[in-house]
């Protein structure tokens, strides 16, 4: 009997489709977040196309209604039952993690034909106009199954175990056992001590976001939204303007978008708290219910950052460190993170001057991560100053990776770098950009690993000696791969058609995953990338992340090393890992170096003899992106005498003694976990498998009985 089939989404009404200009021919990011768009929000009357955005934020009115119903996530009371119930709650740092009841520790791409690249909004409108409203994504643990635990390091028999610096987001339709140590949006923004929240993202559903705030501060918290929807007819922009009227405490800020083919794709929160602390959150999810429900995403959260002493000078505070040149902080320290973050925020101009001024007052020294970001501009390679500040795009990524020593050089090993993304943009037909980007991922520092004591400096001391164990970043114009070491293999994790069809949300999840394969040029790109492709859904693997059925929107880049154990098995370690908003795209990471052009569009004259290599060249970046890079030595605070190693961990955040090599047990070391969003070992594509393409048509019904007509 023929199965009754229906489309995975209803086609949009003609009047709902947006008019398209040349900037819509954009990229991978368009391709990345295809699942939501302005229509995701639903439930509001569509404003007129020419409606003007308020010139100023509306005056706050604490008595005004927000129009947000209580979502009842984990509260026993009903809406409006007891006023100020949050005052009865225990006040603590960021929400604790859910974990096992007993844990035992042992002794845009710019393409050749830009008109080919579709607008992200066009892709998303067809799906999101009919998506249901916000849902509560919190999973309540069954009694006895889960318990709260500390997220701090634990030392057992000389070995210190450090939890993963990132967490996966909670999946609504998976059981509690698959959601150990995961985080929901309410866990991040639901603290009643948050008084001001800055949200950087591509897509927003403000009703969903507001419903995740504590109800006692929902109407008083100062909420700032930074977006990139600059066209007045953009549905997302119109909806944000309507929400600004609905929520008097909401201010909508449009990012500077100089590139027609760029997007504001960064995903970051900055939270200012009433207890004189602040927190930076970098993640991979759009601020829409879909991304926080059944899509795999991940979150990095800084420690709570205290205020600096009142007598701290501006230069020590990091306000002018990237300009004065008097203070040089090593990559990976909190002070360097602050310099790079303030510089990133300064790229928005006066729009974010108030936030930048606030953050200068906070002490970032507890952060252990390197910031890697992109802003829409041209990076002149001759003007880099990596000893003091990190460049944008792949140039900055190379500067960071070139400071990271490989922890696997002491034993024979085979290396592998893995790019796990939710979107692959149209690059080129020959593979030149991808080969160059692969060489960036192979960059590393030559020589011994620096001890953590050489990294650790306080905000009140000058880090002059902290550079002694670091290779001078300004000398790193070429990527290195650890001397004569064999270059690591390269793999790309990208979901196949089967992976999407069998996901929890079926084809609907594919609206957020993009790789065009229809044109002849795109098929050529697929041909050279296909040998590197690996599946997302590999549920039969022994090391499972329990996320095979939750389609990926997370983006990670990791360098692995696999060495032989004494018992004949293999041990996989991690040399460095990155969580970022950036997919595989020239808009996100930057194009290949090109000659610097003068105002008339001609290449600068008189430099022909200096333009071999990268001299006299620049890198064009179109989009806003942000991410963090971590490596073992960074997270071994106070354990500088111990060997530091980072291990992939599955189903939890804390590594265990069972993760260690048999010949490593009992030694003094620091073992850092990296929460895996995908399974190991990787599963290459079979000969008959194809990568998912949201623009293609799929007639085989998915798990919901739907078909996919294609964008």
* Nearest alpha carbon to residue 307 among 326, 279, 329: 279
One-character DSSP codes across 663-707: TTTTS-EEEEEEE-SS-BS--BPPTT--B--TTS-B-S--TTSEE
Contact 237, 204 (CB under 8 A): no
Token reading at 493: 């994790």
Positions marked catalytic: 265, 553
Task: Decide if pLDDT at 4 tops 90.
Answer: no
pLDDT > 90 in the chain, percent: 58
Interacting residues of 393 by C-beta distance below 8 A, sequence separation 6+: 374, 379, 588, 589, 590, 619, 621
- Dist CA 152 CA 502 (whole Å): 37
Pairing mode, if any, of strands 268-273 and 277-283? antiparallel
Query: Using 50, 70 and 90 to split pLDDT, how confident is the model at 413?
Result: confident
Pairing mode, if any, of strands 194-200 and 268-273? antiparallel
496 is a domain residue:
yes
pLDDT at 654: 96
Pairing mode, if any, of strands 298-301 and 625-630? unpaired
Query: Using 50, 70 and 90 to split pLDDT, how confident is the model at 317?
Result: low
623 is a domain residue:
yes
pLDDT at 78: 37
pLDDT at 155: 78
pLDDT at 374: 99
Question: Which structural domain, as residue segments, surrounds residue 191?
Answer: 6-61+95-707
**145-170: average pLDDT:** 76
Query: Using 50, 70 and 90 to split pLDDT, how confident is the model at 673?
Result: very high
Of 35 and 485, more confident: 485
For the stretch 130-166, what's the b/e string if a residue is b when 16 or more beta carbons lie within 10 angstroms of its beta carbon?
Answer: ebeebebbbbebeeeebeebebebbeeeebbbbbbbb
Element (H, E) at 586: helix 586-589
**662-680: average pLDDT:** 82
Of 74 and 575, more confident: 575
248 is a domain residue:
yes
Task: Decide if pLDDT at 182 tops 80.
Answer: yes
pLDDT at 330: 96
- Dist CA 534 CA 686 (whole Å): 9
Window from 151-160, 203-212, 481-490, 687-696 with minimum mean pLDDT: 481-490
Q: pLDDT digit string (tens) for 351-378?
A: 999 999 999 999 999 999 999 999 999 9
pLDDT at 643: 86
**263-276: average pLDDT:** 98
273 is a domain residue:
yes
- Dist CA 303 CA 592 (whole Å): 36
Of 82 and 524, more confident: 524
pLDDT at 596: 84
Q: pLDDT digit string (tens) for 427-442?
A: 999 999 999 999 999 9
111 is a domain residue:
yes
76 is a domain residue:
no
pLDDT at 153: 78
User: 90 vs 95, 96, 189, 272, 345, CA distance in Å?
Assistant: 11, 12, 16, 19, 33
User: 168 vs 227, 300, 556, 676, 696, CA distance in Å?
Assistant: 24, 9, 12, 8, 30
| The residue to which tokens 């990296």 are assigned | 674
Of 119 and 510, more confident: 510
pLDDT at 314: 65
**128-139: average pLDDT:** 30
* Nearest alpha carbon to residue 294 among 525, 488, 511: 511
One-character DSSP codes across 498-564: HHHHTSTTGGGGGGG-EE---SHHHHHHHHHHGGGEE-S--TTSSB--S-TTS-B---EEEEEEEEE
Task: Decide if pLDDT at 458 tops 80.
Answer: no
One-character DSSP codes across 458-508: -TTS--GGGGTTS--GGG--S---STTPPPPEEEEE--BHHHHHTSTTGGG
Window from 9-18, 191-200, 239-248, 409-418 with minimum mean pLDDT: 9-18
Q: Based on the structure, what is the number of domains in the chain?
A: 1
- Dist CA 287 CA 209 (whole Å): 7
Contact 253, 237 (CB under 8 A): no
Window from 353-362, 458-467, 491-500, 646-655 with minimum mean pLDDT: 458-467
Task: Decide if pLDDT at 409 tops 50.
Answer: yes
Peptide bond into 681 cis (omega under 30): yes
Token reading at 609: 């003899």
* 555 assigned binding-site residue: yes
169 is a domain residue:
yes
Token reading at 289: 């219910």
Q: pLDDT digit string (tens) for 87-117?
A: 444 444 444 444 433 333 333 333 333 333 3
Contact 649, 166 (CB under 8 A): no
Averaged confidence pLDDT in the chain: 77
82 is a domain residue:
no
Q: pLDDT digit string (tens) for 601-642?
A: 555 544 443 445 788 999 999 999 999 999 999 988 766 678
pLDDT at 603: 55
* 267 assigned binding-site residue: yes
Task: Decide if pLDDT at 425 tops 70.
Answer: yes
CA gyration radius, the chain: 24
Task: Decide if pLDDT at 268 tops 50.
Answer: yes
Contact 497, 694 (CB under 8 A): no
* Nearest alpha carbon to residue 341 among 354, 327, 360, 324: 360
pLDDT at 665: 52
Indicate the SS3 state at residue 263: coil
Task: Decide if pLDDT at 695 tops 80.
Answer: yes
pTM of the model: 0.78
pLDDT at 564: 77
Indicate the SS3 state at residue 165: coil
Of 136 and 301, more confident: 301
């Amino acid at each position: 009997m023929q199965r009754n089939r229906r489309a995975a989404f209803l086609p949009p009404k003609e009047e709902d489709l947006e008019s398209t200009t040349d900037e819509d021919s954009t990229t991978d990011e368009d391709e990345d977040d295809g699942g939501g768009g302005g229509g995701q929000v639903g439930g509001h009357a569509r404003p007129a196309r020419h409606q003007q955005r308020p010139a100023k934020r509306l005056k706050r009115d604490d008595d005004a209604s927000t129009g947000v119903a209580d979502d009842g996530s984990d509260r026993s009371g009903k809406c409006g039952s007891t006023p100020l119930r949050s005052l009865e709650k225990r006040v603590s740092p960021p929400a604790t993690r859910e974990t096992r009841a007993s844990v035992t520790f042992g002794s845009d791409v710019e393409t050749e034909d830009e008109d080919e690249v579709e607008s992200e909004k066009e892709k998303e409108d067809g799906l999101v106009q009919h998506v249901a409203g916000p849902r509560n994504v919190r999973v309540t643990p069954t009694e006895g199954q889960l318990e709260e635990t500390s997220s701090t390091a634990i030392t057992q028999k000389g070995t210190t175990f450090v939890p993963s610096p990132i967490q996966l987001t909670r999946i609504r339709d998976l059981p509690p056992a698959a959601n150990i140590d995961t985080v929901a949006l309410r866990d991040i923004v639901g603290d009643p001590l948050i008084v001001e929240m800055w949200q950087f993202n591509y897509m927003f559903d403000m009703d969903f976001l507001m419903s995740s705030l504590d109800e006692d501060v929902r109407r008083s918290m100062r909420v700032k939204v930074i977006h990139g929807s600059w066209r007045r007819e953009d549905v997302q922009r119109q909806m944000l303007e309507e929400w600004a009227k609905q929520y008097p405490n909401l201010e909508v800020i449009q990012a500077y978008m100089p590139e027609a083919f760029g997007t504001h794709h960064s995903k970051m929160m900055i939270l200012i708290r009433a207890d004189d602390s602040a927190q930076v959150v970098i993640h991979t999810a759009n601020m829409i219910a879909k991304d926080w429900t059944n899509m795999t995403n991940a979150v990095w959260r800084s420690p709570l950052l205290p205020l600096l002493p009142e007598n701290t000078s501006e230069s020590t505070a990091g306000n002018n460190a990237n300009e004065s040149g008097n203070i040089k902080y090593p990559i990976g320290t909190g002070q360097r993170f602050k310099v790079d973050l303030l510089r990133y925020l300064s790229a928005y101009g006066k729009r974010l001057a108030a936030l930048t001024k606030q953050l200068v007052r906070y002490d970032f020294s507890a952060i252990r991560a390197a910031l890697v970001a992109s802003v829409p501009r041209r990076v002149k390679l001759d003007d880099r100053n990596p000893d003091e500040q990190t460049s944008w795009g792949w140039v900055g990524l190379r500067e960071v990776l070139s400071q990271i020593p490989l922890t696997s050089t002491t034993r024979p090993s085979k290396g592998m770098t893995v790019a796990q993304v939710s979107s692959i943009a149209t690059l080129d037909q020959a593979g030149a950009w991808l080969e160059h980007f692969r060489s960036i991922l192979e960059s590393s520092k030559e020589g011994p690993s620096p001890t953590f004591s050489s990294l650790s400096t306080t905000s009140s001391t000058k880090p002059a000696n902290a550079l002694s164990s670091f290779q001078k970043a300004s000398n790193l114009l070429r990527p290195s791969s650890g001397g004569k070491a064999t270059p690591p293999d390269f793999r790309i994790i990208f979901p196949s058609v089967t992976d999407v069809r069998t996901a929890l949300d079926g084809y609907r999840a594919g609206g957020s995953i993009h790789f065009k394969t229809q044109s002849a040029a795109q098929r050529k790109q697929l041909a050279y990338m296909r040998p590197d492709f690996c599946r997302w859904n590999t549920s039969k693997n022994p090391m499972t992340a329990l996320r095979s059925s939750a389609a990926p929107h997370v983006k990670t880049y990791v360098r692995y090393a696999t060495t032989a154990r004494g018992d004949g098995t293999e041990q996989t370690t991690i040399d460095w890992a990155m969580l970022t908003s950036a997919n595989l795209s020239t808009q996100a990471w930057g194009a290949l170096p090109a000659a610097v052009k003068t105002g008339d569009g001609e290449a600068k004259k008189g430099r022909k003899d200096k333009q071999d290599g990268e001299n006299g060249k620049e890198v064009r970046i179109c989009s806003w992106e942000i991410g963090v890079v971590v490596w073992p030595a960074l997270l071994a605070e106070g354990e500088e005498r111990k060997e530091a190693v980072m291990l992939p961990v599955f189903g939890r955040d804390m590594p265990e003694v069972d993760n260690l090599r048999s010949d490593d047990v009992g030694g003094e070391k620091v073992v850092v976990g990296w929460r895996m969003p995908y399974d190991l070992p990787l599963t290459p594509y079979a000969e008959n498998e194809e990568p998912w393409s949201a623009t293609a048509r799929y007639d085989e019904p998915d798990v919901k009985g739907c078909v996919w007509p294609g964008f």
